[in-house]
Chains A and B, each alone.
Chain A
Amino acid sequence: MNAERLREGLASLGLDGTVEARGSLAIVTLADERPLDDETRLAAVALAREHGFSHVALELTGGTDHGAAVHRD
């Protein structure tokens, strides 16, 4: 599992934010509350798999008040 590589890959899809690894679960927090269409969602799932994660989930950060990425490292 490589959270940093996944974070970089997601950024290349236009999904800037942070990735927290919990075993083979990747928790993604986006820098902004952008819409996620099906194509981008599936690309994110494929990318996560490519980097060793069986699951990838988008954290809901609580709207505009809490929309910024949260650093956990």
Chain B
Amino acid sequence: MQERVESQSLGNEIRDKVVSEVSRFVVGREKETEILLTCLIARGHVLLEGPPGVSKTLLANTFSRCLGLEFKRVQFTPDILPLDIIGGFVFNLKDREFEFRKGPVFTNILLADELNRAPPKVQSALLESMQERQVSVEGHTEKFPFPFMVIATQNPLEFAGVYPLPEGQLDRFMVKLNFKYPSVAAEASILERNLSDIEISEVKTVLTRDQLEELVKQVSQVKVSPEVLAYVAKVAEATRTVASLALGASPRAMVQLLHCSRAKALLAGRDFVTPDDIKEIAIDVLTHRLTIDRTAVTSGRSGNPSDILMSILDRVEPPR
């Protein structure tokens, strides 16, 4: 019992430390930082969507540095090959045999920049390895280090030369975060901070690997009451019956929502999930998995999945 209380306060303490350290370098992205940490301990991956220059890469870089984790960045282009990401066998002239050379995916945090620029074959190779947390090439299987998290970015405004991720692939991301332009106050603060040089190497490590492992272990021990489970099931059912959506949330999506909520509860210093945890994270976890019914849009109903999901969440009564 004492151990459990300690790990709850550890979650709370680590969340505050990480958010505070990242905010020294990235202005106005406290909520996004917290969600990245939530996803990391829930063993999920994150898709960041937003126009260029809104600190997506800076956030990913700062975040991994303050956790003391290895970070690699891959810029996706239309001519990239699966082997460039996952690695492959190369002939070693000295030993006169083939040996497996690991690709950049073998890291703790991989920033997959502009993922939608890569051809479907590469996207598929990366997304499959994300799911399995290992790579298999010609019968040789290599596991990824712990922890492993992909932070992918895509620019929603580009249409030429891009390969949009299909629904099935989007489903592999636990969370999709929409990066908007900063507020006027945040923008002023960014400008002021950039008057002096920002040295990313000054980011302090605020978490040990043991602490991280402990947090990941504790997530699966966070309690979810039967009433909260029933509430999640009711939300799922509502997404499948609402007229504006052609495709509602899948059972896999709801499992991810629940897992993410458990991580969120742990970071809030609790060992149980509340309906507030579910509601606060639902938009980020579910929106990219919903498919709008185009006929509903033409008949004048809302075509924005997050608006539709919000109205569902406002309708479904949680246990109080």
Task: Say whether A associates with B.
Answer: no
Q: Which residues of A contact B (CB under 8 A)?
A: none
